[in-house]
Amino acid sequence: MEAVAKKTMKQKVNNVLGANPLDARFSIALFIVAFIAFFIGGVLGLLQGLNRAGILELPTWLNYYQVLSAHGVLLVLVFSTTFTIGYFYAALSHTLGGLLSKVRKLGWIGFGSMVVGVVFVATTIIMGDASVMYTFYPPMAASGWFYVGLVFLVIGIWLCAFGAFINVADWRKKHKGQHISLLAFFAVGVFVLLFFGSIGVTIEVLMIIPWAFGWTDTINVLLSRTLFWSFGHTLVNIWYLTAVSTWYIAIPKIIGGRQWSDTLTRLVVILLVVLNITGGFHHQIVDPGITEGIKFMHVFMSLSIGFPSLMTAFAMFAIFERSGRKKGAKGLLGWIKKLPWGDVRFLAPMIAMIAFIPAGAGGIAQTNNQLNTVVHNSMWVVGHFHLTLGVTVVLSFFGVAYWLIPHLTGRVLTPQMNKLGVIQTLVWTVGMALMSGAMHYVGLFGSPRRTSYTTYGDNATALGWDPYLLLLAVGGTLLMVGVVLMVYIAFNLMFFAPKGQTEFQIAEPEENAAPTPKWTERWTLWIVLMILVVSMAYVIPVVDMIVNAPPGSPPFRTW
């Protein structure tokens, strides 16, 4: 009881003072980069959409694959990562009583390193020397400088991760016997994954650099792909974990409810961290050179991530129903009406969650060998990740932006801005529904992904795709409107919205909650377990790939 009283007191103090201005500046800097990347990436997305519909022919100095590489890199690597780090650093600052000054410094150095990395990457893509898509695996080879840029990006991420660890360790030393806040716990999970998940890709990039510069002749393609996906897949789940953190912590507050069980939520985080990295193989179901037995084993490894996801779904419904009933909802579904649908801070992440139902179902389908062969490398896959990433993750992030940015800048979300946000959310939802729906559908009819518009010499099947591709372009155009609105809102909240206090949205724990057990904080144990799971999954196939490798591949420039 005393602890609770003390905590609310601290929160009150925090609310009066607002965010620590030095920490806020860091997060805002990351958000600025994130939304600039989002804007440029969105414009490029529209170009692709219009091209795929056969409406727009791209000029020779800006070809489809160059645009596609930039779109992927800017949205997947830059936007998502910078937003995630900005959000969690704000969370650490808020819940742990401010960042340590050395951590802030580390963060800025990491930020600088990331910016340098992005400059290298963007420059090589613009020069047309790096149309290798955001997956950048061999045998396609970009200019070596592209990969050097990636190294800077990874170093930046690592510095930010270590900053977070240092801050959390320091706090726990000063607060013996207490638990770090749930949000900080999510942050630790995310940074652990960011660090360990990027070790594989770092090894890959260090193999590629001498090869791309011509110092080595050949490279092991399958190994590179495997190392890439150990990272690529983990990154996907990092965004998911980030989105989930807002569902567990911010949403209950916004709808006037309370958190779900603290212990079980922490268990979800631990499970996602331990089980995650090994899922990478489901991106390689069609790759030759990996035996059937291994692929079979990995179906289970992929599906095991479904368990914490289902726990999350259950938790969300429990939160909604409880808070609805407290407001006097009657009947089986009466609580639905009690939810604050007009509040964009709720609406955006709510749609994000709803979208995850079909998105998750699609993912479970794809991870099965037979079904995967139907959709592999077709537009279906592009539809899938525009639903998971483009809706579930992105709308959750936007939901955060509506209160976190004004909290950091000492401003408020006005009712007009809220309304514009609701419009943005609806435009985005309809746009993605059209685009992603069309992508899923046309993928089932065989339209390939990562392919500039072509009718294959007026082949009847290819011509049959046209109506869907047109629908894709319509959705993409709506999305462009959504991009403009969102970027406008974000910068408005940063620099122009009226001054005022905005609260950091953190729900209170359940009433009469049981104390959280200590074992949840045993991070070394979770990390060792994670390493064991990773080695169980990777040692056998990777040794096979290295020892029984076919002749390596020289670099190819296919564009």
Partner 1 sequence: MKYGLVLYIFLMLPPVANLAESVMAIHMHMQMTLFVVVGVLMAPLYQKIFARFFEKWNSNGVPGILLFMVILGYWLLPRTMDEALSIPAVELFKFISLPFLAGVPLRDSWGKLSNVGKNTLYVLLSVIFGGMAWLYIASPVQLCNNYLIIEQKTLGWGFVFFAVSIMIYFISTLIIDPSDYE
Which residues bind to Cu ion, rule: CB under 5 A? 233
Residue placing its CB nearer to partner 1 in the complex, 464 or 550: 550
CA distance 362 to 286: 17
| Residue linked to tokens 């240092």 | 166
Residue placing its CB nearer to ligand HEM in the complex, 80 or 312: 80
CA distance 249 to 251: 6
With CB under 5 to 8 Å by kind, the binding choice for 531 among Cu ion, partner 1, ligand HEM, none is partner 1
Residue type, 399: G
With CB under 5 to 8 Å by kind, the binding choice for 449 among Cu ion, ligand HEM, partner 1, none is ligand HEM
With CB under 5 to 8 Å by kind, the binding choice for 524 among ligand HEM, Cu ion, partner 1, none is partner 1
Question: Least distance to partner 1 from the beta carbon of 465, Å?
Answer: 43
Residue 440 near ligand HEM by CB under 6 A: no
Site for ligand HEM in 368-387 (CB under 6 A): 382, 385-386
Q: Tokens at residue 15, please? A: 């609310």
**Of positions 3, 16, 101, 177, contacts partner 1 by CB under 8 A:** 177
Q: Tokens at residue 205, please? A: 């990039």
The kind and range of the H/E element at 3 are helix 2-17
CA atoms within 13 A on the CB side of 330: 0
**Of positions 19, 52, 91, 469, contacts ligand HEM by CB under 6 A:** 52
Site for ligand HEM in 64-83 (CB under 6 A): 68, 71-72, 75-76, 79-80
CA atoms within 13 A on the CB side of 381: 17
Site for partner 1 in 293-352 (CB under 8 A): 293
With CB under 5 to 8 Å by kind, the binding choice for 535 among ligand HEM, Cu ion, partner 1, none is partner 1
Site for partner 1 in 500-559 (CB under 8 A): 518, 521, 524-525, 527-528, 531-532, 535-536, 539-540, 542-544, 547-548
Residue-wise over 121-141: b if at least 16 C-beta within 10 A, else e?
bbebbeebbbbbbbbbbbbbb
Estimate the crossing angle of helix 394-409 against helix 344-366, to 10 degrees: 150
Residue 442 near ligand HEM by CB under 6 A: no
With CB under 5 to 8 Å by kind, the binding choice for 72 among partner 1, Cu ion, ligand HEM, none is ligand HEM
Residue 292 near partner 1 by CB under 8 A: no
Site for partner 1 in 150-169 (CB under 8 A): 169
- Asked if residues 168 and 95 have their Cβ atoms less than 8 Å apart, the reply is no
Contacts of 89 (CB under 8 A, 6+ apart): 23, 26, 27, 30, 99, 107, 160, 163, 164
CA distance 281 to 284: 5
- Asked if residues 183 and 506 have their Cβ atoms less than 8 Å apart, the reply is yes
Q: Tokens at residue 531, please? A: 């390493």
CA distance 295 to 302: 10
With CB under 5 to 8 Å by kind, the binding choice for 479 among ligand HEM, Cu ion, partner 1, none is ligand HEM
With CB under 5 to 8 Å by kind, the binding choice for 233 among Cu ion, ligand HEM, partner 1, none is Cu ion
Binding site for ligand HEM (CB under 6 A): 42, 45-46, 48-49, 52, 68, 71-72, 75-76, 79-80, 133-134, 382, 385-386, 389-390, 394, 449-451, 476, 479-480, 483
